[in-house]
């Protein structure tokens, strides 16, 4: 598998090394440190190199024989090789000791002999490190051979001169190092705790601090009253002069109500019979008794059920009073009679009239009406029915009951921009439909139902224009604004020949104009006390400034406007 050999320069720092690892296109990255590579003598840097390789999914290998670097690599499990041809491996303790011993012996030889050969070898090492992978391999092999020779020479010279090789330093005798090695868990935990403490301090002093500012603005309340006019023609509107375009809004509401029926009706049978119509003719002719002709006796009325014709042909022989007919040449009167079938005008046993020997005399629009036969068949059956007074009362009750609900429904149908003139509200109740209908029977222990369609209406104008008119007419001083306005209303709304008139009324709360943006710009980055003082000096209408911090250690306003919350509180001076 291909590898990428990276030669580290002495001036490269840890960031440069990590960048080179991340930019490498190979999966295996061999790092060749220079002779004096201070950056590789820090356990933190070696850990960062190991982590960078893991994050980039690359196998990082150190090409070095420096015992101090190899020892640090062993701690972080970073593979090391002495040259580019050797197999990399994580250093073991015994291997590190051998490397340290060899390095110590080499240092003794250099100190005692001042060997030019050693200097030349060092110079050659520096030059070859800059050339490439192949020259580095050759140099590494040659250097290994030279080290073996030097070891033999040093041993021989040592025996000859009686000198002992220089021993490597033993750090285990240092109490501080010994304590660290013995309490690695505590040291690591302390390091993590220190990092967390730093992060906590950054969060507490940079990220978390926030301040809420309550700015209390001193205000006054004033009443507003102005005569205005209304027009139903849009082109005539002039809102700035108090002439507003008016519209009528309507809704239809279907309402129902149950009501008791109080009418009474006799639905029994009608009495029937016949009456005799008696007519005296002075000349031939006829009289018609039409169907529906009323005959009355004892305040009881009957009507003819058919048309009946009573006539005389002029012959006295056909007269029913032949014996009493006056002879020709004098005033003659011929009697003719006819039986007319009748029935009572309404049911009831009261219409049953018995027969009498002399007969009953009836009054009618014809003369001589009587009956010798009885009127029979009339019966009584009284039931409850709907009468007009029942319908009228239910209609009035429904109008009164639903007026508030109808008004509420109408107002809810308006938009937020509609300003309603409440005094113009009205409702018109349409035709009422009763079930059962007028005059019809209602079942026992049940009620009739009345259904009415009501039209509710109200006049509206544009609320935005109304409030703008109020603000213009209020004539506030510069730097002042209206903070609150009670719902305006129209008083004495009246229709005239040219439109409508009324008086616009409301009340409003005004004070010095202070915005959240103004407050933030004034206090941002300042101490809490300084910010409060600057606000009260900048705006004379501010009576109080209250600050609330997110944490007790926050003593100044953040430089981030997103962390400053402003609440403008209106204080009514009239209260």
Q: What is the pLDDT of residues 474-529, one digit of tens each?
A: 888 888 888 888 889 999 999 988 889 999 999 988 888 888 888 998 888 888 88
- Let me know whether 28 and 155 are in one domain: yes
Write down the number of H helices and E strands in the chain: 12, 24
Q: How many domains does the chain have?
A: 4
In terms of DSSP bridges, do strands 369-371 and 272-281 run parallel, antiparallel, or are they unpaired? Answer: antiparallel
Q: Is the pLDDT of residue 429 over 60?
A: yes
pLDDT of residue 200: 64
- Let me know whether 291 and 389 are in one domain: no
Residue of higher predicted confidence among 397 and 29: 29
The residue among 472, 484, 487, 470 whose CA lies nearest residue 421 is 487
pLDDT of residue 477: 82
Report d(CA 306, CA 342) in Å as an integer: 8
Q: What domain range is 315 assigned to?
A: 268-380
Query: 289-307 pLDDT, tens per residue?
Result: 889 988 888 888 999 999 9
pLDDT of residue 194: 78
What pTM value is reported for the model? Answer: 0.44
Q: Is the pLDDT of residue 341 over 90?
A: yes
Tell how far CA 50 is from the center of its chain.
Answer: 52
Q: Is the pLDDT of residue 378 over 90?
A: yes
Neighbours of 58 (CB within 10 A): 19
Query: 241-271 pLDDT, tens per residue?
Result: 999 999 999 988 888 888 999 999 898 999 9
Q: Is the pLDDT of residue 131 over 50?
A: no
Would 562 be classed as within a structural domain? no
Read out DSSP for 349-369?
Answer: GGG-----SS-EEEB-SSSSE
In terms of DSSP bridges, do strands 272-281 and 334-344 run parallel, antiparallel, or are they unpaired? Answer: antiparallel
- Let me know whether 371 and 452 are in one domain: no
- Let me know whether 195 and 126 are in one domain: no
- Let me know whether 338 and 436 are in one domain: no
- Let me know whether 191 and 153 are in one domain: no
Query: Taking all residues of the chain, what is their mean pLDDT, rounded to a whole number?
Result: 79
Report d(CA 377, CA 271) in Å as an integer: 4
Q: Which residues pair with 429 in a beta bridge?
A: 454
- Let me know whether 278 and 196 are in one domain: no
Q: Is the pLDDT of residue 126 over 50?
A: no
Q: Cβ distance 486 to 232 under 8 Å?
A: no
Query: 459-487 pLDDT, tens per residue?
Result: 999 999 999 999 888 888 888 888 888 88
Largest distance between two CA atoms of the chain: 208
- Let me know whether 152 and 285 are in one domain: no
- Let me know whether 292 and 164 are in one domain: no
pLDDT of residue 203: 59
Would 152 be classed as within a structural domain? yes
Q: How large is the average pLDDT for residues 446-453?
A: 88
Tokens of 403: 């007026």
Would 329 be classed as within a structural domain? yes
Q: Is the pLDDT of residue 111 over 60?
A: no
Q: Which of 435, 458, 481 is the last residue of a domain?
A: 458
Q: Which of 458, 481, 507 is the last residue of a domain?
A: 458
Q: Which of 14-23, 250-259, 550-559 has the lowest mean pLDDT?
A: 550-559
Query: 402-415 pLDDT, tens per residue?
Result: 677 788 888 888 88
Tokens of 95: 């291997």
- Let me know whether 300 and 449 are in one domain: no
Q: Cβ distance 573 to 219 under 8 Å?
A: yes
- Let me know whether 45 and 107 are in one domain: yes
Would 372 be classed as within a structural domain? yes
Would 321 be classed as within a structural domain? yes
- Let me know whether 254 and 277 are in one domain: no
Q: Is the pLDDT of residue 349 over 90?
A: yes
Would 415 be classed as within a structural domain? yes
pLDDT of residue 305: 93
């Amino acid at each position: 598998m291909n590898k990428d050999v990276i030669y580290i320069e002495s001036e490269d720092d840890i960031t440069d090394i990590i960048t080179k690892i991340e930019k490498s296109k190979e999966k295996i990255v061999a790092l060749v440190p220079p002779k004096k590579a201070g950056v590789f003598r820090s356990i933190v840097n070696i850990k960062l190199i190991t982590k960078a390789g893991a994050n980039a999914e690359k196998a990082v290998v150190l090409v070095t024989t420096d015992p101090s670097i190899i020892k640090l690599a062993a701690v972080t499990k970073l593979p090391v090789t002495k040259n580019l041809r050797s197999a990399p491996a994580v250093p073991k303790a015994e291997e590190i000791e051998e490397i340290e011993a060899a390095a110590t012996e080499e240092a003794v030889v250099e100190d005692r002999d001042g060997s030019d050969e050693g200097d030349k070898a060092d110079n050659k090492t520096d030059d070859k490190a800059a050339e490439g992978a192949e020259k580095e391999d050759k140099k590494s092999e040659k250097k290994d051979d030279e080290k073996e020779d030097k070891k033999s020479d040093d041993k021989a010279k040592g025996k000859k001169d009686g000198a002992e090789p220089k021993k490597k330093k033993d750090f285990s005798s240092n109490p501080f190092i010994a304590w660290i090695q013995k309490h690695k868990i505590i040291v690591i935990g302390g390091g993590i705790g220190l990092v967390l403490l730093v992060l906590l301090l950054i969060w507490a002093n940079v990220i978390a601090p926030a301040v809420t500012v309550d700015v209390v603005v001193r205000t006054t309340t004033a009443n507003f009253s102005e005569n205005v006019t209304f027009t139903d023609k849009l082109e005539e509107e002039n809102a700035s002069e108090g002439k507003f375009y008016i519209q009528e809004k309507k809704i239809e509401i279907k309402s129902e109500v149950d009501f008791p029926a109080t009418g009474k009706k006799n639905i029994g049978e009608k009495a029937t019979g016949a009456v005799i119509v008696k007519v005296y003719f002075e000349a031939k002719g006829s009289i018609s008794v039409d169907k529906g002709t009323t005959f009355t006796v004892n305040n009881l009325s009957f009507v003819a059920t058919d048309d009946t014709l009573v006539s005389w042909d002029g012959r006295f022989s056909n007269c029913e009073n032949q014996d009493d007919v006056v002879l020709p040449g004098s005033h003659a009167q011929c009697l003719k009679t006819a039986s007319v079938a009748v029935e009572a005008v309404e049911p009831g046993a009261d219409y049953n009239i018995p027969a009498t020997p002399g007969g009953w005399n009836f009054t009618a629009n014809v003369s001589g009406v009587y009956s010798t036969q009885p009127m029979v068949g009339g019966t009584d059956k009284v039931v409850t029915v709907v009468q007009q007074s029942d319908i009228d009362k239910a209609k009035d009750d429904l109008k009164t009951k639903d007026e508030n609900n109808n008004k509420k429904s109408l107002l809810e149908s308006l938009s937020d921009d509609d300003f309603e003139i409440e005094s113009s509200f009205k409702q018109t109740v349409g035709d009422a439909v009763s079930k059962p209908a007028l005059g019809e029977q209602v079942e026992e222990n049940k009620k009739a139902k009345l259904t009415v369609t009501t039209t509710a209406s109200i006049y509206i104008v544009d609320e935005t224009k109304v409030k703008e008119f109020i603000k213009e007419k209020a004539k506030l001083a510069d730097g002042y604004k209206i903070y609150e306005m009670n719902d305006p209303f129209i008083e004495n709304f009246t229709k005239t020949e040219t439109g409508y008139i009324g008086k616009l009324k409301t009340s409003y709360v005004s004070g010095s104009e202070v915005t959240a943006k103004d407050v933030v710009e004034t206090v941002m980055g300042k101490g809490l006390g300084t910010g409060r003082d600057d606000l009260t000096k900048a705006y004379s209408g501010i009576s109080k400034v209250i600050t609330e911090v997110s944490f007790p250690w926050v003593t100044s306003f953040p430089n981030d406007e997103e962390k400053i919350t402003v609440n403008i509180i209106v204080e009514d001076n009239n209260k």
